[in-house]
Structures are given as structure tokens and as C-alpha cells.
Amino acid sequence: MIKKAHALIAVVMALALTVSFYATDHYMAAQLLHGKVFWMPSLGWDRAIPFQPSWVWVYLLYFPACFLPVTFIEVLKNGNIFRRVAAGFILQFAFALAFFWLLPSQVHRPELQHAGISSQVLRWFYEIDPGYNVFPSLHVANVAYVACVAERLERRALSLGVWVLCLLIAASTLFIKQHYFIDLPAGILVGVLSHHAAFSKRMDFLDSRKTRAPAFIEASARKPLPAQAPAQ
């Protein structure tokens, strides 16, 4: 039976995590007025990448991509899988927020002088997101994590497609000056490590005693038993 509560919890959790991110973002922006210095991990090729506001449409694909797991029947029906997937998202935000507070970062943005709908959408997005908390990239981390979850649930074609989307979103962050290059591999690392942590044996406490996760979850989340020697 599909649990509608899982979908509702996913929406509430997404809102809570999003608010925590943007609240931190705006807090850091306010600290700039008090003379706080932010790390700007810009490399030479970051400055060489042209500013292309039209890539904002690729960037916005991040939002539906994050909700892909709640379309998986296993996530909706199995509480164990749902809790582990949710735990992975929480781990990503916890790790990233720790970095944002310990190593505050900022991205330099150009003046928006382009006309057209793409520039208007990007200008609106700039107002919501002041451009702090850029290392690691949570956009890239979240989509990489979704790709890992799809692979774990044996949706290999979808996983490959999400990885391609992850790379496109990563490229879009460079073209719209939302991130520096170094933020992107750091984001992928956060997503992959959070996936492995969420489905590791250390997270067994999330599993219900009444229901067991499917075999492919348990096999990948636990070490295989040693082979027994044949009876003599």
C-alpha cells in the first residue's frame, strides 16, 4: 500500500531544508555589512567561462530532479527505504551547512544587463539567493544523490539519465555564475558519501522491526556473509 504520508513528509522536509539553506544564505549576506570576509574559490577558468543567462532553465531542473525519489514505488511503499533516502538528504544539508558556517564562501556575480525572460528569471533568482554558501554545491550534491538512489533501486537507465542531468546542472551553475568550478566536485562527493552513509549498517536503527527492506537494499547496505565450506 502506498503511504501518502511519505509524500507529505517529503514535501515538508524539503521545505524545512530549503528554509534552513536560504536563512543561512541571507544571514551570511547580512554579515558582509559587518565586515566579514568570505572565501571566493575562483580559478582561472572560472573567469574564462562566459556569462550565459539562458542556462538558468537548465539550472531550474534541479527542483523537479530532487523530487524524483518520491515517484519511486519502493520509496512510497517501504518505510525503511523512505527513511534512509530522507536521512541521505538530511546528511547532505548537515554536512554542507557545517561547511557554510566554518568556511563561509561567496561567488562574484556580474551585472545583469541582458534583456529577455531568461535574464528576468535569473535576476529574480539572484534576489532570492544572494550568492553565499557556495562550497560545496548542494544543487550538484542533491542531484548526484538522486542518481545514486536510482542506481540502488535498480533503475540503471534512469540513474544514467540523472547523472547526465547532474553534469548539465553543474555546467549551468558555471554559466549563470552561481558557483565556481571547485564547488562542483565537492558537491558530487557530498552526494555520493551521503548515499553510502544513509544505506550503511550504521543506519540500521532507521529500519522498522515489523518490515524488512528488499534484498537488494540489505545486500548493499550490509557486508555479505562468508561462504560456508561444503559439508564433508
Cβ neighbors of 56 (< 8 A, separation 6 or more) are 118, 121, 122, 125, 172, 176
pLDDT at 193 exceeding the cut of 60: yes
Q: What pLDDT was estimated at residue 160?
A: 94
pLDDT at 1 exceeding the cut of 50: no
**Residue 16: how many other CB atoms lie within 10 Å:** 12
| Most confident residue range from 84-98, 120-134, 181-195, 213-227 | 181-195
Q: What pLDDT was estimated at residue 161?
A: 95
Q: What pLDDT was estimated at residue 8?
A: 61
- pLDDT greater at residue 146 or residue 216: 146
User: In the chain, pLDDT over 70 holds for what percent of residues?
Assistant: 73
Q: What is the mean pLDDT of residues 194-209?
A: 84
User: Tens digits of per-residue pLDDT, 210-226?
Assistant: 555 554 554 444 444 33
User: In the chain, pLDDT over 90 holds for what percent of residues?
Assistant: 33
Q: What pLDDT was estimated at residue 65?
A: 92
User: Tens digits of per-residue pLDDT, 64-95?
Assistant: 998 888 888 888 788 888 889 988 998 998 88
Rounded to whole angstroms, the Cα distance separating 135 from 99 reads 7
At 170, the pLDDT band (50, 70, 90 cuts) reads very high
Q: What pLDDT was estimated at residue 223?
A: 40
Q: What pLDDT was estimated at residue 35?
A: 65
Which alpha helices (DSSP H) does the chain contain, by range?
4-32, 44-48, 56-59, 62-66, 73-77, 79-102, 117-128, 138-152, 156-175, 183-198, 215-221
Q: Please, what is the angle between helix 183-198 and helix 138-152, to 10°? A: 40
Mean pLDDT of all residues belonging to the chain: 80
Contact in structure between 147 and 162 (CB atoms under 8 Å):
yes
Which range (36-50, 90-104, 149-163, 189-203) has the least confidence? 36-50
pLDDT at 129 exceeding the cut of 50: yes
